Amino acid sequence: MQRLVLLLFLLSPLLLTTLTSTATAGKLDDVRKAVNNDASGSNNASTSSASTHYDQDYDGDSGTSGGADYPPELICLAVPAMLFCVPYFALEGFPSDDNERGATYFNAYPYASSGAGLLRFVSEANTGSPEEQSAARAALVAEENLSRISLRFALEYGLDFGMVHQPAAEFSLHSSSRFGFSTRWTQLLENSHGTIDHLGMSVTQIIFRFAQAEQLQFQTGVGLRLLVDGHDLTPGFNFSYGVDIQPGDPILVHAAIEIGNLGDAFLFGARSTFGVMLPPCEVFLGLDVLLINPVLFIGPVAGVRAWF
């Protein structure tokens, strides 16, 4: 049964390739134009129009708008507070309660030991000398094969409905200090007039797990994005916000958004995957969305992730 599930996950992009074989080409050329601002005239006009419309709708001196009483500065403060503070206090409570959870450890892979999910919080024993308490915790860590770091390596294949193929590889390191590192490389491949056009895209970032529980972890990251076109490199900024959920053995859920730029183009990404553990690997299937304004890539993704 597990082999059948794995086969269906891996074949799904190929089946969708057949269904969308009549799609048109030329998206990668549109990306080149977007990052170099070749369509700047129309974009600037749209921006100017939107700015004029905002000025008419909102009067900063009077504090009124066409139907809304909230200044944009308040919204800019409220949204980050909701995205970061709510998950933290919901999962971890107030800082004074944090020490009761014990030291943070990772299972070798999700659902690997008696502790559910990915994380384990190991406290000192309540009896015995400090040396005996530390020895008891060390014995538990060794018995359950727990670690202070978690390594993950993934290979995946995505397919845009416009017939742009997207094989990718990703490596990430996560630590009990909450800080980590991730890097991802994606190839964009397109059949353009009988030849294979291609672009490379990478994202490298420092990540921070700002809210955590045994079966639920929120993380954010900032870093560098690169578009590689032959010998030409186009840099950009990347911000990410994501959540990993382990609702119950063997299911894994991941969702993330990314905001940034590539050259002169605004970039937005979103993905959600549903995975099944086949220890020590995860087989996953999901939906991936990438906007390199105004070029939109959207389609399924399937892959395998190894946990170490």
Following DSSP, what letter does each residue of 122-181 receive, concatenated?
EPPPSSS-HHHHHHHHHHHHHHTT-BSEEEEEEEEEEE-TTSEEEEEEEEEEEETTSEEE
Tokens of 61: 């001196």
Residues 244-262, buried b or exposed e (16+ Cβ, 10 A)? Answer: bbbeeebebbbebebebbb
pLDDT(182) > 50: yes
Report the alpha-carbon distance of residue 308 to residue 300 in Å, rounded.
26
Q: State residue 49's pLDDT score.
A: 41
Structure confidence at residue 18 as a pLDDT band (50, 70, 90): very low
Q: Which has more pLDDT, 157 or 85? A: 157
Tokens of 107: 């299972």
pTM of the model: 0.80
**Average pLDDT, stretch 98-123?**
82
pLDDT tens digits, one per residue of 73-84: 677 778 878 889
The amino acid at 205: Q
**Average per-residue pLDDT for the chain:** 82
Please name each of the domains of the chain with its CATH number: 2-35+149-307 (2.40.160.20), 86-143 (no CATH)
